[in-house]
Amino acid sequence: MGGGIQEKKKKKKVAVYDGSDIRELVGDERAFTSFVDDKFSELDRDRDGKLSVKELKPAVSAIGASLGLPAPGSSPDSDHIYHEVLNEFTHGKQEQVSKTEFKEVLSDILLGMAAGLNRDPIVILRIDGEDLREFVDGSSFELEAISIFSRMESSGMSLQHCIIKALEQLAVEHGMPPSNDSWVLNNIVEPTLQSVANDQYEQPASQDIFLSEFRKVVENIILRLKEHPVIVAHSGNTFDGSGIKRLLMNKFELEKVLDASWRHLPKIDSQKAPRGYLRVALDEVAPSAGLPPFGSLSQMDTVVNEVFKMVNADEGKIVEEAEFKKIMTEILGSIMLQLEGKPIVFSSSSVVHEPLASSTTDTLLPITSTESSSRSE
Q: How far is CA 367 from CA 76, 152, 275, in A?
A: 24, 34, 32
Nearest CA to 58 among 46, 75, 45, 76? 45
At residue 169, the pLDDT reads 92
At residue 239, the pLDDT reads 93
pLDDT above 70 covers a percentage of the chain that reads 86
Mean pLDDT to the nearest integer, 354-370: 43
Confidence band of 357 (pLDDT split at 50, 70, 90): very low
Mean pLDDT to the nearest integer, 265-291: 85
* HSE toward the beta carbon, residue 65, CA cutoff 13 A: 12
At residue 374, the pLDDT reads 35
What span, in angstroms and rounded, lies between the C-alpha atoms of 216 and 196? 8
What span, in angstroms and rounded, lies between the C-alpha atoms of 12 and 16? 11
Confidence band of 181 (pLDDT split at 50, 70, 90): confident
Confidence band of 2 (pLDDT split at 50, 70, 90): very low
Q: Are 233 and 367 in contact (CB under 8 A)?
A: yes
Q: CB under 8 Å to 120, separation ≥6 — which residues?
A: 1, 235, 236, 237, 292, 346, 369
At residue 366, the pLDDT reads 47
Query: Among 65-69, 100-104, 161-165, 307-311, whose mean pLDDT is lowest?
Result: 65-69
At residue 7, the pLDDT reads 41
At 77-113, the pLDDT tens digits run 667 777 878 888 887 767 889 999 999 988 988 887 7
Query: Mean of the per-residue pLDDT values for the chain?
Result: 83
pLDDT above 90 covers a percentage of the chain that reads 45
> Residue 290, Cα to own-chain centre: how many angstroms?
13
At residue 143, the pLDDT reads 94
Q: Are 282 and 331 in contact (CB under 8 A)?
A: yes
Greater pLDDT, 323 or 18: 323
The 3 state secondary structure assigned to the chain is CCCCCCHHHHHHEEEEECCHHHHHHHHCHHHHHHHHHHHHHHHCCCCCCCEEHHHHHHHHHHHHHHCCCCCCCCCHHHHHHHHHHHHHHHCCCCCEECHHHHHHHHHHHHHHHHHHHHHCCEEEEEECCHHHHHHHHCCHHHHHHHHHHHHCCCCCCEHHHHHHHHHHHCCHHHCCCCCCCHHHHHHHHHHHHHHHCCHHHHCECCHHHHHHHHHHHHHHHHHHHHHCCEEEEEEEEEECCHHHHHHHHCHHHHHHHHHHHHHHCCCCECCEEEHHHHHHHHHHHHHHHCCCCCCCCHHHHHHHHHHHHHCCCCCCCEEEHHHHHHHHHHHHHHHHHHHHHCCEEEEEEEECCCCCCCCHHHCCCCCCCCCCEEEEC
At residue 266, the pLDDT reads 80
* HSE toward the beta carbon, residue 324, CA cutoff 13 A: 31
At 285-325, the pLDDT tens digits run 998 998 988 887 889 999 999 999 888 876 667 889 999 99
At residue 373, the pLDDT reads 35
- Beta bridge pairs of residue 122: 17
What span, in angstroms and rounded, lies between the C-alpha atoms of 107 and 100? 11
Q: For residue 368, which amino acid is it?
A: T
At residue 12, the pLDDT reads 62
At 206-261, the pLDDT tens digits run 899 999 999 999 999 999 999 999 988 888 888 999 999 999 999 999 999 999 99
Mean pLDDT to the nearest integer, 270-281: 83
At residue 13, the pLDDT reads 60
What span, in angstroms and rounded, lies between the C-alpha atoms of 165 and 309? 37
At residue 155, the pLDDT reads 66
At residue 83, the pLDDT reads 81
Mean pLDDT to the nearest integer, 266-280: 81
pLDDT surpassing 90 at residue 370:
no
Taking the CA atoms of 80, 85, 91 and 93 in sequence, report the sign of the dihedral they define: negative
What span, in angstroms and rounded, lies between the C-alpha atoms of 12 and 128? 9
